[in-house]
Structure 1
Amino acid sequence: MSDVFISYSRKDKAFVEHLYQALKEQGRETWVDWHAIEWTEDWWQAIQRGIEGTNTFVFVLSPNSVESAVCRDEINHAVKHNKRLIPIVYQPVEAQQVHEALGKLNWLFFCDADRFVEMFGELVRSIDMDLEYVKGHTRLLEKAIEWNQQTRNESFLLRGVDLQTAEAWLVKGASKQPQPTQLQGEYISASRAAEIQRQQAEARRQQVFMAGVGMFAFLAFGAAAVAVQQRQVAERRGINAELNAQSLTAINLLESNLGIEALVEGLKAGQKLKSATQEVEPETAMRVVSALRQIVYSVHEQNRLEGHGNTIESVSFSPDGKTIATGSWDNTVKLWNLKGEELKTLKGHRDVVRSVSFSPDGKTIATGSEDATIKLWNLEGKELKTLKGHGSHILCVSFSPDGKTIVTGSGDRTAKLWNLEGKELKTLKGHDVFVASVSFSPDGKTIVTGSGDTTAKLWNLEGKELKTLKGHRSAVKSVNFSPDGKTIATGSEDYTAKLWNLEGKELKTLKGHSGYITSVSFSPDGKTIATGSWDDTVKLWNLEGRN
């Protein structure tokens, strides 16, 4: 099993060698075919196995690769097996030439050599996203393919704990990407059916055995008691098998967009669980409850905000909590009410909108984009000002507490202060790479910035660097002050959050996430910290670092 499979044109080999080396330095096992071998059955089978056994399929987009028949065959094989696809752009291409499976995804742009470090960081984050689930996808795919190639021989099926783990993975896959394949579903279903047959056969053997024992038992009562016990064991196994099968069926129905049917099947399993509590194994009961909860939440989902044409990058509530602003890869910002109704669409940016923020009075919205501009808008969707001055894309934007100043962070390694007229007040220079997060202190006198150089920095309003917070081992993606302004929280791609005082002393390290921490925030009373991570969880911590 490899972490990454790179599909590319041999004409772009120099770039891919650079990419391969960077991945190697990050400890990522990468499958690359370096040789322009003639198409043969053995060679193509090796390519197929490489794709099937990888967690992430990276396609290097260029005019050469989109015209390559081999590259297209590789994409088709990856799509066939529902592999996670990540398109990266080495050289500009015409959208209509790109494989449809790649065209609907977000692209990472490596065209600008100066942005390689930043975009490589985005690539690694995408590769590592939900990694345990993706590894499960790869592992089960390889097993299912082997079973299928061996004419679906029963000896290749899952049993015991392996089967339970696979079923739990399949339930989780209903809301995950990449989705389970039909072959994986058939493999797990066949494994469960074989397990039920084995359990039933075992129960029959036990009954025959006990019947034979009964013929020679000295105490008929004792033999009868043992027989009853064995029959109860067989019945208990049967009930657990039926509940597992019903849960799996319900989730499969949900995945097929048959919500009502899934709900009916889930309720049947729930009712059976309720009436047979004493006979059900804890793992089986949890599987039934988990499936039913997932189905209920899906069927009754309300107020989904649908309208953007691409990924939503940033979300912000207005101070009164009545309006939501969303920034998207479709280059627009949308305003919504709490009913999920679209109020306005803010059009004007020419590239991805990476950050949105409301002013403290809720009357103005600031947006930062990869087009290197910041725009100010009113609630009617009218563009008020465009702030220009950064030399690269905008990653973050925030208002001061009094609403008179805006701070922005950029890929050009700087943060900038602006007034509402769009005048640049100060430039904060000191970070080695992009500034990913910015925040004002509650009194508005201090600014904290977090950067891809693994540090956070404190600044005054004159742009003077006050302190550098060192301790993280990877990019700092989120920074925030406590409500009293005495503590700073930072979240990092090293899977930890840290608390610091204003002197730059590290107070606590919050460990527990298994993915990048991209958001960190204090509760209004300052006693609780919330961290959001790529491991699909939010954790709450006290000031002692316990969750």
Structure 2
Amino acid sequence: MIDVRSITISEDGLSLISAGMSGSEPNDQGSYDGEVRVWDLQSGELTSTIPGLFDEMSVVTIGDDRQTLVVSDRHHNIQLWNLETEEPLQALPDIGYFTELLILSQDGQTLITANPDDQTVQVWTVESQQVVQSFNAGHEAIVIEGSDRPVEVPGRRSRIALSNDGKTLATTGLDKIIKLWNLETAELILTFPTDHEYPIHSLTFSPDGETLASGSSDNTVKLWNREGELLHTLTGHESTVFSLQYSPNGKILATSDLDSTVNVWNPTTGELIQTLAEEPVREGETAASLSFSPNGEILAGVNYDGTIKVWQVTR
């Protein structure tokens, strides 16, 4: 089983990039090395491999710019890599904690990290490797995916969401409360309780930043405006909603759950447009990550068993 942790479709729409474990023998330290793989999106053939950028204990995510890999390792270091040149970019050495909560801004200039132990959010300028804002999010323990009901352990990056303009951060925790923050001033803009029955496992802004989507272990997705008003409740999943992804133009929202069901919605009307996957190969084969092509016509999803699936999306 190959552990694929993050995927993206290239800017030209021709390739799919995945970051995960190599599946080879352990290294000299007894851990497994990670690698980045590049696939031809049409044929599904592997075209290139970039080894040695991280190991199995690292958290990796591909930035929204579709070309930067962010690696958080167990020694509290964060390293950025350019996937086109395979060259290291800036590094943040020993930030003081290991984090799975990472967001790189769309322009690649700002990195958001969160300390799972004390809920401190830090805003870094990538070029200078300096903290420019720091504040406590003040939630109960942030939840982690892995079961259909939450447990109080450190969470992953899906519990924080950054608007595309890089100015607003949304945070949530076991308290089922969403907070919106001004990242330029570290000011709390808005706090609003949700009526999710269970904690929120996924969070994302629409491309225009005007709508926030939250997915929960109550099997629903809720859409909110910037005033914290509920716009729609999307029902159609039968297990925890773990992944949310808007198309680049914001006209489509894709959601996936613990049972590997992937639904495609019209976020304006709340209408279910299409169900792409309903039958997992085996129990627990969750669709862990979703990525749209730049034109919004192709959606890729990866299961926790390493299987990558690609669909044509009805528009």
- What TM-score do the two structures reach when normalised by structure 2? 0.70
Instruction: Confirm or deny that 1:387 pairs with 2:130.
Output: no
Q: 2:112·2:123 contact (CA, 8 Å) conserved in 1?
A: yes
Determine the structure 2 residue equivalent to 1:406: 169
Separation in 1, partners of 2:200, 2:73: 20
Q: CA deviation at 1:392?
A: 1.9
**Matching of residues 510-521 of structure 1 within 5 Å:** 510-511=276-277, 513-514=280-281, 515-521=285-291
Determine the structure 1 residue equivalent to 2:43: none
Select 1:536's aligned residue among 289, 306, 312: 306
Determine the structure 2 residue equivalent to 1:362: 108
Q: CA deviation at 1:398?
A: 2.6
Select 1:324's aligned residue among 69, 82, 107: 69
Determine the structure 1 residue equivalent to 2:214: 449
**Matching of residues 385-534 of structure 1 within 5 Å:** 385-388=133-136, 389-393=138-142, 395=156, 396=158, 397-420=160-183, 421-430=185-194, 431-502=196-267, 503-511=269-277, 513-514=280-281, 515-534=285-304
Q: CA deviation at 1:342?
A: 6.5
Separation in 1, partners of 2:199, 2:76: 21
Alpha-carbon spacing, 1:354–1:427, altered in 2? closer, same or farther (3 Å): farther
Q: CA deviation at 1:369?
A: 3.5
Select the structure that is richer in strand: 2
Q: CA deviation at 1:377?
A: 0.6
Q: Partner letter of residue 478 of structure 1?
A: S
Q: 1:315·1:325 contact (CA, 8 Å) conserved in 2?
A: yes
Please list every run of at least 4 consecutive aligned residues from structure 1 whose deviation after the TM superposition is greater than 3 angstroms: 254-257, 300-303, 328-332, 340-343, 346-350
**Matching of residues 78-227 of structure 1 within 5 Å:** 176=23
Structure 1 unaligned residues grouped into runs of 5+: 1-128, 131-173, 177-253, 258-296
| Number of residue pairs aligned between Structure 1 and Structure 2 | 252
1:71-104 C-alpha deviation (Å, 9 max, x unpaired): xxxxxxxxxxxxxxxxxxxxxxxxxxxxxxxxxx
Q: CA deviation at 1:524?
A: 0.9
Instruction: Confirm or deny that 1:344 pairs with 2:71.
Output: no
Q: 1:414·1:428 contact (CA, 8 Å) conserved in 2?
A: yes
1:483-515 C-alpha deviation (Å, 9 max, x unpaired): 222221101111111011223222221115431
Separation in 2, partners of 1:428, 1:527: 34
Q: 1:356·1:367 contact (CA, 8 Å) conserved in 2?
A: yes
Alpha-carbon spacing, 1:483–1:336, altered in 2? closer, same or farther (3 Å): closer
Identical aligned residues as a percent: 33
Q: CA deviation at 1:387?
A: 2.5
Q: CA deviation at 1:303?
A: 4.3
Query: Which of structures 1 and 2 has the bigger CA Rg?
Result: 1
Q: 1:513·1:535 contact (CA, 8 Å) conserved in 2?
A: no
Alpha-carbon spacing, 1:528–1:463, altered in 2? closer, same or farther (3 Å): same
Alpha-carbon spacing, 1:255–1:331, altered in 2? closer, same or farther (3 Å): closer
For 1:540, what is the secondary structure of its paired residue? strand
Q: 2:181·2:187 contact (CA, 8 Å) conserved in 1?
A: yes
Select the structure that is richer in helix: 1
Q: Partner letter of residue 422 of structure 1?
A: A
Report the RMSD for the aligned CA atoms in angstroms: 2.9
- What TM-score do the two structures reach when normalised by structure 1? 0.42
1:229-279 C-alpha deviation (Å, 9 max, x unpaired): xxxxxxxxxxxxxxxxxxxxxxxxx8599xxxxxxxxxxxxxxxxxxxxxx
Q: Partner letter of residue 71 of structure 2?
A: T
Determine the structure 1 residue equivalent to 2:41: none
1:329-384 C-alpha deviation (Å, 9 max, x unpaired): 5544222344253641343353x412222223321111234222221111132122
Q: 1:305·1:341 contact (CA, 8 Å) conserved in 2?
A: no
Separation in 1, partners of 2:292, 2:66: 18
Separation in 1, partners of 2:91, 2:112: 15
Separation in 1, partners of 2:292, 2:22: 29
Separation in 2, partners of 1:320, 1:361: 11
Q: Partner letter of residue 335 of structure 1?
A: L
Separation in 1, partners of 2:189, 2:51: 41
